[in-house]
Amino acid sequence: MNLSDEQVLAMAPDDSSRKSGKDLANPAKWVSKGVGDNALWGECQGSGSKPYQTQIDTGNMAFKCSCPSRKFPCKHGLGLLLQYSRQPDSFAEQTPPAWVSEWLAKRAEREEKKAVTANAPEKQVDATAQAKRQQARQQKVSDGTAELLRWIKDLVRNGIMDLPEKDPSFFENMIRRMVDAQAPGLAAMMRELADISYFHEGWQTIFMNQLIRIYLVIQGYQHLDQLPETLQQDVRSLIGFAQAQEELKEQTGVTDTWRVLGKQTTEEDRLVVERYWLYGIRTQRRALILQFFVRGQSTIANPITPGTTIQAELVYYPSAAPLRAIIKQQMTVPPDHTFSGFSGWEEVVSAQTDISAVLPVYNDQVYTIAGLTPVWHQEQWWLQDSRQQLMPVKKGFPHIWKLLALSGGAPLHMAVTGREMQYEPIGVWHEHEYKIL
pLDDT at 346: 96
Q: Do 234 and 261 belong together in one domain? A: no
What value does the mean pLDDT take over residues 205-222? Answer: 95
Residue 29 is assigned to a structural domain of this protein: yes
> Is the model more confident about 58 or about 373?
373
Does residue 349 share a domain with residue 285? no
Quote the number of domains for the chain. Answer: 4
- Name every residue whose Cβ is closer than 8 Å to that of residue 25 and which is 6 or more positions away in sequence: 78, 79, 80, 82, 83, 86
Residue 268 and residue 352 share a domain = no
Overall average pLDDT of the 401-418 stretch = 94
Find the mean pLDDT for residues 221-239. Answer: 94
Structural domain boundaries enclosing 420? 345-436
pLDDT at 296: 55
Q: Is residue 398 part of a domain?
A: yes
Please check whether residues 365 and 415 belong to one and the same domain. Answer: yes
Q: Pick from 82, 116, 150: which residue ends a domain?
A: 116
Higher pLDDT, 46 or 277: 277
Same domain, 97 and 185: no
188 and 207 assigned to the same domain? yes
What's the CATH number where 273 sits? 2.40.50
* Rg over CA atoms, the chain: 24
Do 203 and 263 share a domain, yes or no? no
Residues 107 and 132 occupy one common structural domain: no
Residue 174 lies in a domain: yes
Cis status of the peptide bond prior to 425, with omega within 30 of 0: no
Is residue 55 included in any domain, yes or no?
Answer: yes
What's the pLDDT score for residue 293? 75
> What pLDDT is stored for residue 427 in this prediction?
94
Boundary (domain end) residue, out of 239, 274, 291:
239
Q: Determine the straight-line distance between the first and last CA of the chain, rounded to whole angstroms.
A: 21
Residue 420 backbone phi and psi in degrees, to 5:
55, -100
Which pLDDT score is estimated for 77?
92
- Percent of the chain at pLDDT above 70? 95
Please check whether residue 123 lies inside any domain of the structure.
no
Would you say residue 121 lies in a domain? no
Together in a domain, 395 and 364:
yes
Q: pLDDT tens for residues 91-140?
A: 988 889 999 999 988 888 887 887 776 666 656 657 788 788 888 999 99
pLDDT tens sequence across 278-299: 999 999 999 999 988 766 554 4
Place 10 in a pLDDT band, splitting at 50, 70 and 90. Answer: confident
Model confidence at 67: pLDDT above 60: yes
Percent above pLDDT 90 for the chain: 61
Assess if residue 122 is contained within a domain.
no
Residue in 366, 411, 413 with CA at minimum distance from that of residue 388: 411
pLDDT at 430: 92
Do 229 and 256 belong together in one domain? Answer: no
Residue 183: per-residue pLDDT: 93
* Residues 329, 394 share a domain: no
Query: Rounded mean pLDDT of the chain?
Result: 89
Q: What is the pLDDT of residue 302?
A: 58
Question: Are residues 80 and 13 part of one domain?
Answer: yes
Q: Does 338 reside within a domain?
A: no
Question: Domain end: 292, 308, 333, which one?
Answer: 333
- Which residues are 289's β-sheet partners? 276, 325
Interval 244-289: pLDDT, tens: 788 888 888 999 999 999 998 887 766 778 899 999 999 999 999 9
Integer angstrom CA distances of residue 177 from 146, 160, 288, 417: 11, 21, 29, 31
